[in-house]
Amino acid sequence: MHCLDCHTHGTTSTAVGVCHGCGAAVCDTHARVTVRSVRRGPMLGGPDEAQARTVRCPKCAVVEAA
């Protein structure tokens, strides 16, 4: 699979991930990785919080940051 943004610019790069927002394939140059907190475990008795990564394309990363 190839990066959608690179394809739009007339180049070809191998994708390393898929955007969580729109599903576009992204290469290591265009991937925007953020960290978010995820709650897991039982809701009663205090769930544990863990850190998870989210991959987004540049366009979805701008929308998410706004």
Which is higher by pLDDT, 28 or 45? 28
**Domain ranges for the chain:** 4-65
DSSP secondary structure, 1-64, as one string: -B-HHHHHTT---B--EE-TTT--EE-TTT-EEEEEEEEES-STT--EEEEEEEEE-HHHHHHH
Contact of 41 with 12, CB cutoff 8 Å: no
User: pLDDT of 37-53, one tens digit each?
Assistant: 888 777 677 678 888 99
The pLDDT of 7-13, averaged and rounded, is 96
